[in-house]
Amino acid sequence: MSRHDAVEVITAKRDRGELSDSQIDWVIDAYTRGEVADEQMAALAMAILLNGMVPREIARWTAAMIASGERMDFSGLSRPTADKHSTGGVGDKITLPLAPLVAACGVAVPQLSGRGLGHTGGTLDKLESIPGWRASLTNAEMLAQLEDVGAVICAAGDGLAPADKKLYALRDVTGTVEAIPLIASSIMSKKIAEGTGALVLDVKVGTGAFMKDEARARELAETMVALGQDAGVRTVALLTDMSTPLGLTAGNAIEVAESVEVLAGGGPADVVELTVALAREMLAGAGVTDVDPAERLADGSAMDAWNAMVRAQGGDPEAPLPQAKESHVVRADASGTLTRLDAMAVGLAAWRLGAGRARKEDPVQAGAGVVWHARPGDEVTQGEPLFTLLTDEPERFERALSTLEDGYDIDDAASYTPAPLVIDRIG
């Protein structure tokens, strides 16, 4: 590998130059080894945020991040693999019903997931509210579970894209999280290294999403689809709405309960719609076109796969889920149609109630969160429950209530226009 100098790489990007392949390979490797200091990588990340990268640079940056660690190999499994990644939202419990549903259709799902930070919930936090369930598996355990059960949702091991782990933490504290080249390479380096055959990206757009603006969400989706295709992974993206939170719950245990309702053939219509849409894309990517996922929800086989998946990771799917010690009901202050429910307001309220964390090391409350009793388009009656707030610490209610105050509108039905949940498909 050619030897470079950190300052030379930083100034090249600062002056709007394109980084060479050897500069990119060197700086990622040297940063992973500790030869390039955090403050130097922070300067480079800011230069990338401000000046961007061309597709070749992004592809090489992603490849260098993959090369910093191990690559998993699922080619020995008896069935094809497909995975899904969501850019994160509020009430986004889709992974929970989706992984067992796709497994019930004959495709293995190696779902490496993360924890929540800020207003977006983490899949692992939700699943850890199930008594006994564990997030950490060895590669051998993961492979055995994929062969036996067909689905695994677990934490990524330290060996997968270690450069990303370091860089992600740095971006978080240096105001460089929003750089599209860095978001795309962070997500795709882990997903490509994970070794899945097909990948479906759920790129959220709206007030509760990381990307508030549809043009930027589309740019991110197109960038990630191109990275996946270039790496030989069959990749598509759905742009989906995150102005309204998904389902009727935002929290940990309460989202697990809602996911189980979906697997039982019920649950909120939007959660079912998105779960089935993503399942169809994952099955198509894996070459399975003769199975209808909606039928697998109806016939109980997806629920069987869920129970097997939870048990395989030490969890008890029959055990009662934790419940918050305290609750507070917010009643509708008028009668009419709920015309707006802001995802960011709901997400911040759930976070303030203890369902999320401000720093990576913070604990979360399993039972905390927000339940809403109506969705946009529904009629509400003055004095009837609109939200139920849940927490173990009643002093948290006040701050959560303050975020919800401007988070919804009750108006006449004529002022409500339903928005499509799936905005577009890319790839």
Catalytic residue among 13, 166, 171, 280: 171
Which among 86, 113, 186, 189 is annotated as catalytic? Answer: 186
Q: Active-site residue 13, yes or no?
A: no
Q: Of the residues 125, 164, 241, 270, which is catalytic?
A: 164
What the block records as the tokens of 65 is: 């991040």
Active-site pick, 4, 126, 190, 191 = 190
Active site residue 190: yes
CA–CA distance from 369 to each of 86, 206, 359 (Å)? Answer: 20, 21, 18
Task: Clarify whether 164 is annotated catalytic.
Answer: yes
Cβ atoms of 98 and 264 closer than 8 Å? no
How far apart (Å, rounded) are the C-alpha atoms in residues 387 and 373? Answer: 6
Q: Which of 13, 85, 93, 204 is catalytic?
A: 85
Q: SS3 for 250?
A: strand
Rounded CA-CA distance 81/150 in Å is: 9
What burial letters (b/e) apply to 35-44, b meaning 16+ CB within 10 Å?
ebeeebbbbb
Distance CA 44, CA 299 (A): 53
Nearest 5°: CA angle at 308, between 94 and 314? 95
Chain mean position to CA 163: 20
Catalytic residue list? 85, 164, 171, 186, 190
